[in-house]
Amino acid sequence: MAVPDRAPPAALLAEAALFLDFDGTLVELAESPAAISVPSGLKPLLSRLVERLGGRVAIVSGRSITDIEEHLDCSAVAVSGSHGLELRLRNGAELPLAAPAGLEEARLAVDAFAETADGLLVEHKPLGVALHFRRAPDEAERSSAFMEKLAARSGLEIQKGKMVVELRPGGADKGDAVRAFMAEPEFAGARPVFVGDDVTDEHAFEAVAEMGGAGILVGPPRRSAAGYRLNDVAAVAAWLQEAAAGSPE
């Protein structure tokens, strides 16, 4: 891995398939998942990108699909939620969900732990449970240690992100979601481009690189499998606006 130090050219999206993380990429991070503010121009921008790329646009998020749709109309795009565990195609076809053994017990334990400190927030997902400590940064170490012990006891896996640690079943990540979409006729043959900000996006950066595509890191410089970098959410929006201005395929 290297530290990406160049901005992506708008031409990178020519004949591409575009995969977009949500939090920290399309919307600014907030103190809690429910507190985000979705820019008013995001929906029309996604519509222009769908037209520009012949439908080859997908949201790939750690949130559940249901949660994403509480904030954003995803009817025109494919969408993956829960770090690749949920997958829905543009035509509405979905992969079935099966809650892992031990999840309900883990949910109760995380709820109880969150009551031990102000600022801890629990996010329940169809196939996992996340503990956010953005509003309680001093609890980061204690929260991570608790979740790691709970993972060992429950048979679930740990997924760490920005100020959050999640318990989830193994077997899928954002890279797997990208690979699954790229196997579909609508995406097949295009060059995959993934835009994301978090360490959970590294699997997707690696996946697109393997397929001859490119990753775009959002945020401060760090070592990454991405080949390009944009400074922040505003820079992502500006780059996508420029790319969307091209002629439809």
23 labelled catalytic? no
Residue 77 and residue 46 in contact, taking contact as beta carbons nearer than 8 Å: yes
Give dist(CA 243, CA 48) in Å, integer: 10
Q: For the chain, how far is it from start to end, CA to CA, in angstroms? A: 33
Give dist(CA 120, CA 116) in Å, integer: 8
Give the H/E segment covering residue 175. helix 174-182
Tokens of 19: 């995969």
Strand partners, 81: 86
Write down the catalytic residue from 5, 21, 138, 201.
Answer: 21
Strand partners, 131: 122, 165
Taking phi first (over 0 means left), then psi (-120 to 50 degrees means alpha), and beta for anything else, what does residue 97 get?
beta
Handedness of CA 206, 188, 161, 127 (dihedral sign): negative
Per the listing, tokens 């997902």 go with 125
**Closest to 34 (Cα-Cα) out of 113, 107, 135, 102:** 135
Q: Annotated catalytic sites, by residue?
A: 21
